[in-house]
Amino acid sequence: MAAPQHFFHDSMGSILAIALAMSASTALACTRILWNTNGVLAVAGRTMDWAESTEPRLYVFPKGMRRDGGRVGPIDIGDQNPLTWTSRYGSVVVSAYGLASVDGLNEKGLAMHLLFLTATDYGPRNPEKAGLQAGLWGQYLLDNAATVEEALERMKDVQPIMVEHAGFKSSLHLAIEDASGDSAIIEYVDGQPKIYHGSEHRVVTNDPPYDEQLLELEKWDFANATRQTPLPGNVNPIDRFVRANYFLKTLRKPEGEREAIATTLSLARNASVPFNAPYKTPGTIYDTEYRTVVNLDSRRYFFELTTSPNVIWVNLEDLALSPGSPVLQLNPDDIHLSGNVNKEFTPVAEPPF
């Protein structure tokens, strides 16, 4: 049963509802692709597909920031054992609605990607575990872990909490990877965490749960593939999962970062949802809003907004990340932005979360 809801009006006059509900009535389409087999560098890409603008902003967070996993923006969700922490590492992230980090990279080369999962069930609240509103799940790991192994260890005593904004619940699963090429997919299904850990876990989409995605892949034989090899071509998550796995297997060794990033972007674009493509029911759409690619070795973060299609990037190693450094923000919705945008960020008076 859902807990009581709390409401407030933000500065834009909209209503934020926070509910500790255990089901989701909406879905979105996202894809994460990890290329850790090329022998040159570890690189990962993702698509963000959503029914409306998530108002994405790029933020640079220094280390030494205090965070509260029991809050969504200014709202206290009333958890009896909220997780609080001080960040050990700096990061660059993409926010959603100014309330959550949904994608990002930290200074140690750990990256995270939050994707929707309809079956998500974080289970009854266990007060013995610290509560973490799910929109800060990925940020918590970027703030505190240098590797996938360390991130998984950090999650043992933490429980994500379902929250809601603008009618969308945080029914999420998480993909993480590090500079060594290690990878993990973390899901909560039927109230229990399910962890798929290993460098072989390279592609994941939003639905269904990951074990079912792997079973679907067993139906396909990509040996001796040619252009006549049949592939699913629609935008549903299983089709995108199969296509991304197929094309990932065909890649040749890149000559360097430029080719590796371009190659990963090409796979992400192939797994993207075109504007106005029909989704689960007639009249519903979940267009690809943006794509990201991370160079885990060089700590470089690439971003491509589909309505302002220039690729921009952030060199995390060239930014001030020491405690006390300013939080920086960049609105990527600017057709004039292109290439390295380190100098385009501006300080913010108050961190968004």
Which residues are known to be catalytic? 30
Q: 15 by DSSP, 3-state: which?
A: strand
Q: Rounded CA gap, 352 and 18, in Å?
A: 17
- With a CB cutoff of 8 Å and minimum separation 6, the contacts of 234 are none
SS3 for 5?
coil
Q: Which residues pair with 176 in a beta bridge?
A: 112, 184
- Nearest by Cα to 290 from 12, 104, 69: 104
CA distance 182 to 198: 6
What are the backbone angles phi and psi of residue 216, rounded to the nearest 5°?
A: -60, -40
End-to-end CA distance of the chain: 28
Q: Bridge partners of 89?
A: none
Distance CA(258)–CA(283), nearest Å, equals 39
| Burial group, residue 79, by CB count within 10 angstroms (0-12, 13-18, 19+) | buried
Residue 132 phi/psi, 5-degree rounding, is -135, 110
Spatial contact of 159 and 129, defined as CB atoms under 8 Å apart:
yes
Query: Coil, strand, or helix at residue 173?
Result: strand
* DSSP per-residue codes, 139-164: HHHHHH-SSHHHHHHHGGGEEEE--E
Q: What is the DSSP letter of 203?
A: E
DSSP letters for 310-327: EEEEEEGGGS--STTPPP
